[in-house]
Amino acid sequence: MKPAQFDYYRPTSIEETAALLERFDGDVSVLAGGQSLVPLLNMRMARPGAIVDLGRVPDLDYIEERDGHLAIGAMARQRAVYESELARRTCPLLVEALSLVGHTPIRSRGTVGGSLAHADPAAELPAVLSALGGSVKCVGSDGERVLSAGEFFVTFLTTALMPGEFVTEARFPILPEHSGACFTEVARRHGDFALVGVGAAVTLPEGGDVCSAAHIALNGAGMTPVKPEHVEAALAGRQLDDAAIDAAASDVGAWVEPSNDIHADSEYRKHLATVLTKRALHTARRRASRGEQ
């Protein structure tokens, strides 16, 4: 299990990176933390002609609050985000999800941007981006564009990135006061990809019980992270009582279309979608009303 040969490039600017990616026209992989790519190289399931390492591109390693978003640069390590006070304060859903991403040594190297760009529908971080309605900034030789999560995640391991484009920043919207969030999942083992995971957040203005906005997305429940927008819409403006949560959870379970694999069949995953949505909404509601986020 050793990688096949590839040409290796370590550009020192975003422009140089974009030019290299364009030059190889698809037969190239972007290396950020490497926690998804290098195992695939070792197994020779990925055999790019060239690898472009973002490790020396300056100004990609940051965690900032900007324009109502938590902005995370492409080379910010998951561990740094997990340990960031700013992230904990502004985007607790992301931090809770990060505790479920692999293990500490994986998060030491793995990046938030890399996980999003890998677009594994079983992974937690794409679900967080979807739930919060976040976006990614992509740069190519034609310039930059910002794609919403819904636009970005196309299907299994596939994003809307064009050949020559790469992710430079992920943007997670910061929820208003009186919001609460919860990420929960069932995995076969601690640190494994989830069978199903649910990220949910609700806002209960002035600590009341009327929900002004609800955010939900699931991993392990389809070919991309899935966002039951009709359920979110149905909860908005409603009293968030147990009956409303039950109804939302059932709707989510009925709506998702997960696939089968050796660890769980579709039916079990649909069941988990219901159970976990309910649990996530209950916890999010409690956190919102206690002001603990």
Partner 1 sequence: MSNEGSLSTVTLTVNGHRYASEVEPRTLLSDFLRDDLRLTGTHLGCEHGVCGACTIIWNGAAARSCVALAVQADGAEIRTVEGMAEDGQLHPIQQAFHEAHGLQCGFCTPGFLMTVSDLLERYPDPTEDEIRAEISSNICRCTGYQTIVEAVRLAAAKLKEEV
Partner 2 sequence: MRWVGARVDRKEDYKLLTGAGRFVADIDLPDMLHCAILRSSEPHATIKAIDATKARELPGVHAVLTVEDLVDRFDPIPVIWREDQQKNMANPVVPADGRVRFVGEPIGIVAADRRNIAEDALDLIEVEYEPLPAIAGVEAALGDDAALLHPDWGDNVACESASDTSTGNDEQGDGVTELHESPDVDKVFAEADRVYERRFKIGRHTAFPLETRGCVAHIDPMISGQLALWTSTQTPHFVRTILARVLGHPENDIRVIAPDVGGGFGQKEHLYPEEVLAVALTLDLKRPVKWIEDRRENFLAGSHARQQLVDVSMAVSADGKILGTKLRIFADVGGYMSNVGIGPALSTNSMFPQAYNYKAHRGNVYAVVTNKTPAGAYRGFGMNKSVLLMERMIDIVANDLDIDPAEMRMRNFPQPSEMPFTSPTMHTFDAGDYPESLQRVLDMVDYERLRAEQKQLRSKGRYLGIGVSHYVEMNGLGPSKVMHMSGFDVGGYESGVVEVQPDGTVVLATGVASHGQSHQTTLAQVVADQVGVHPDKVTVVQGDTALTPYSPSGTIASRSAPNAGGAAMLAAKKVREKMLRVASYLLEVGVDDLTVEDERIFARGAPSVGMSVADVAAHMWGGRDLGDDSMEFGTQERVVYDPPGTSYTFGSQVCVIELDPDTATFEWRRYVVNHDCGTMINPTVVAGQLQGGIAQGIAGITLEDLVYDESGQPLTTTFMDYLLPTAADMPSMELTHSETPSPYNPLGIKGMGEGGTMSGMPVVANALADALRQFNVEVTEFPVTPNRIFAAIHKGGWNRTHEKG
Q: Residues interacting with partner 2, by CB under 8 A? A: 1-5, 43-44, 186, 188-193, 195, 262-265, 267-268, 271-272, 275-276
Q: Using CB under 8 A, count the residues that bind partner 1.
A: 35
> Residues 6 or more apart from 253 whose CB is under 8 A from it?
270, 271, 273, 274, 275, 277
Q: Which does 105 bind (CB under 5 to 8 A by kind): partner 1, partner 2, none?
A: partner 1
Decide: is 279 part of the binding site for partner 1 (CB under 8 A).
no
Q: How many CB atoms lie within 10 A of CB 113?
A: 27
Q: Where are the beta strands (DSSP E) in the chain?
A: 7-9, 28-31, 50-53, 63-66, 69-73, 135-140, 143-148, 153-155, 158-159, 166-173, 179-187, 194-203, 213-219
Is residue 32 within 8 A of residue 113, CB to CB? The reply is yes
Q: Which residues pair with residue 265 across a beta bridge?
A: none
Shortest distance, CB of residue 99 to partner 2, whole angstroms?
13
Shortest distance, CB of residue 197 to partner 2, whole angstroms?
12
User: Which position has the token pair 């975003």?
Assistant: 14
Is residue 76 within 8 A of residue 113, CB to CB? The reply is yes
Site string for partner 1, 133-172 (x = CB under 8 A): ----------------------------------------
Site string for partner 1, 82-121 (x = CB under 8 A): --------------------xxxxx-xx------------
Nearer residue to partner 2 within complex by CB, 172 or 193: 193
Nearer residue to partner 1 within complex by CB, 39 or 163: 39
Nearer residue to partner 1 within complex by CB, 188 or 290: 188
* Interface of this chain with partner 1, residues 25 to 64, rule: CB under 8 A: 31, 34-35, 38-39, 41-43, 51, 53, 55-56
Give dist(CA 259, CA 68) in Å, integer. Answer: 36
Burial of 217 by CB count in 10 Å (0-12 exposed, 13-18 middle, 19+ buried)?
buried
Is residue 79 within 8 A of residue 97, CB to CB? The reply is no
Interface residues with partner 1 (CB under 8 A) are: 1-12, 31, 34-35, 38-39, 41-43, 51, 53, 55-56, 79, 102-106, 108-109, 189-191
